[in-house]
């Protein structure tokens, strides 16, 4: 699926209410809707000028809704869906949020992912080898992907009010207007 408008994306984000990262609800303690809002709000607070990073936080887990049960591939599905609308950087950050978890497990094992994320680490490739970690660290988006990952791990607080989805419409429209390939001639 490729998202073709902010309206389609907003519909998908609203559909995340009551949807979970695992079909049996053994994963994150909040639904995909609240997790998206919390992750984006944390990124807004830590990197207020980086709208693309904030938007990546908002959409990073929509792959769980697009293909329920495909935990290993959820980041790729989400990245492919948002790329035409939100651009390459947002798509790459979304794709890199899983490798960033694997990277952090390698370089900061004492900090580790959230308990729920630790359960899926093996299915997502496990802790990176030293060579994989070095290659990841060399990616120009590695630092931003790690920032996204850290917000992802922190954005799982039951009952935390992180605003409403509609508050993100104008930010999504801004990022889409800057990056959309829709209608562009390749």
What is d(CA 1, CA 67) in angstroms, rounded to the nearest whole number? Answer: 10
Q: Please say whether the beta carbons of 113 and 105 come within 8 A.
A: yes
Contact 72, 180 (CB under 8 A): no
Instruction: Name the pLDDT band for 181 (thresholds 50, 70, 90).
Output: low
pLDDT band at 105 (very low <50, low <70, confident <90, very high): very high
Interval 31-85: pLDDT, tens = 999 999 999 999 999 999 999 999 999 999 999 999 998 888 999 999 999 999 9
What is the predicted pLDDT for the residue at 185? 43
- Cβ atoms of 7 and 14 closer than 8 Å: no
Instruction: Write down the mean pLDDT value for the chain.
Output: 92
162-174 pLDDT, tens digit each: 999 999 999 999 9
| Tokens describing residue 130 | 């030293």
Rounded-to-integer distance, Cα 142 and Cα 112, Å: 17
pLDDT value, residue 140: 98
pTM: 0.92
């Amino acid at each position: 699926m490729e998202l073709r408008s902010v309206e389609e994306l907003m519909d998908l984000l609203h559909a995340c209410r009551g949807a979970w990262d695992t079909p049996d609800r053994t994963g994150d303690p909040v639904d995909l809707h609240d997790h998206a809002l919390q992750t984006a709000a944390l990124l807004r607070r830590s990197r207020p000028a980086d709208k693309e990073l904030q938007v990546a936080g908002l959409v990073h887990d929509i792959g769980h809704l697009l293909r329920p049960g495909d935990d290993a591939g959820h980041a790729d599905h989400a990245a492919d869906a948002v790329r035409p609308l939100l651009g390459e950087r947002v798509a790459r950050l979304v794709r890199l949020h899983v490798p960033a978890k694997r990277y952090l497990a390698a370089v900061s094992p004492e900090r580790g992912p959230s308990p729920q994320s630790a359960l899926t680490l093996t299915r997502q490739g496990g802790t990176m080898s030293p060579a994989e970690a070095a290659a990841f660290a060399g990616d120009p988006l590695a630092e931003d992907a790690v920032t996204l990952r850290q917000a992802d791990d922190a954005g799982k607080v039951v009952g935390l009010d992180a605003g409403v989805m509609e508050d993100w419409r104008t930010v999504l429209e801004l990022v889409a207007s800057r990056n959309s390939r829709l209608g562009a001639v390749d």
